[in-house]
A and B are shown apart, each in its own frame.
Chain A
């Protein structure tokens, strides 16, 4: 059984650019969630994808968008990068069924630095 894998591990971008982060969910999981973790803080929920559709979103602007693919992998896209977008971006996969969540597992994250 493989865990959650994210790529790249580190990334440096310039303000105004666009970035795409990738996540492969754990085998058997059908839901992917993305979180932003600023330095010294807990992770903040960005959004969740289930059955290839966004079905929950936190307090993040529309320039944060995502995709989920038929194999349950996912992408996080951020347009018009701002300096405050510098953070650790975490992907978590889980198995959602019958109204409960199981096996909520995080990847190691992508460290994004915007300069």
Chain B
């Protein structure tokens, strides 16, 4: 299948630890952001989203933080599990008026038992 993320930065964590994946976005006018998880051979899977009128949003084991001042997003995964191993992308919705997502470069998360 598809081998996503051959040359992507890698974050290696121990099972049970918390993971933090960072992302910088490009357009200060962007108002909607999404984190995706992509496993080998699959399409991006929605994890969590956040709108620009919020600084933080929590889901099940995941938290997204948005810092609009420095145009930075982070994804925090609590109690990381082997099943969390994948490539993670942040995406910003292009503020240009139609439904286009601009993806970041991606980070590979490797969870070790």
Contacts and interface: CB of A to CB of B under 8 A. Distances in A.
Interface stretch (A12-20, A37-45, A71-79): A37-45
Given A42-B89, A42-B106, A101-B32, A56 B44 contact: no
Interface in A60-115: 88, 90, 92, 94, 96, 100-101, 104-109, 111
Interface residues of B, number: 32
Contacts, number: 75
22 contacts: A4-B43, A33-B100, A35-B101, A39-B4, A39-B6, A40-B6, A41-B105, A42-B105, A43-B89, A43-B101, A45-B100, A50-B98, A50-B99, A55-B98, A56-B98, A100-B32, A106-B46, A107-B43, A108-B41, A109-B42, A109-B43, A111-B2
